[in-house]
């Protein structure tokens, strides 16, 4: 999942990578920062994936997050629709972390779009 600015990134700027800042991931964040990767740790307000996803659901419900039609059969959409009944939910959790990072760092969601490959 890639996050991009709608109007293109400023020359010389790097995309931001958001990583859950707990346990061993903290060491990964430090190493990536040492290597000059634009990475930010996100400390979860809750250990519960359902709560994290619920904390950003207003962005989806309010139309601030748009899913292109070509994603209609993508694994992410499937996990979001079936959240709680799916065996796998890591993409849905990564999606929540990404939106939490954006909400905390930037003013307007409308300045961004996601690319899912």
Instruction: Label the pairing between strands 17-20 and 112-115.
Output: unpaired
Tell me the average pLDDT of the chain: 78
d(CA 31, CA 84): 34
Q: Where are the domains of the chain?
A: 2-12+48-115
What is the pLDDT averaged over residues 103-117?
A: 61
pLDDT digit string, tens, across residues 69-83: 776 667 888 888 888
pLDDT digit string, tens, across residues 6-62: 445 555 567 778 888 888 899 999 999 999 988 888 887 777 889 989 988 888 888
Neighbours of 107 (CB within 10 A): 8
pTM of the model: 0.71
Q: Which residue has the higher pLDDT, 9 or 68?
A: 68
**Run of H or E residues at 91:** helix 90-105
94: which residues sit within 8 A by CB, 6+ positions away?
Answer: 1
Instruction: Label the pairing between strands 112-115 and 2-5.
Output: antiparallel
Quote the pLDDT of residue 59.
Answer: 83
Neighbours of 89 (CB within 10 A): 19
């Amino acid at each position: 999942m890639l996050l991009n600015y709608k109007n293109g990134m400023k020359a010389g700027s790097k995309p931001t990578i958001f990583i859950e800042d707990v346990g061993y991931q903290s060491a990964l964040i430090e190493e990536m920062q040492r290597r000059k990767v634009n990475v930010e740790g996100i400390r979860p307000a809750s250990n519960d994936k359902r709560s994290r996803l619920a904390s950003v659901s207003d962005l989806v419900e309010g139309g601030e997050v748009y899913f292109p039609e070509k994603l209609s059969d993508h694994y992410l959409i499937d996990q979001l629709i079936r959240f709680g009944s799916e065996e796998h939910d890591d993409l849905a959790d990564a999606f929540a972390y990404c939106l939490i990072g954006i909400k905390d760092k930037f003013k307007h969601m409308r300045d961004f779009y996601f690319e899912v490959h």
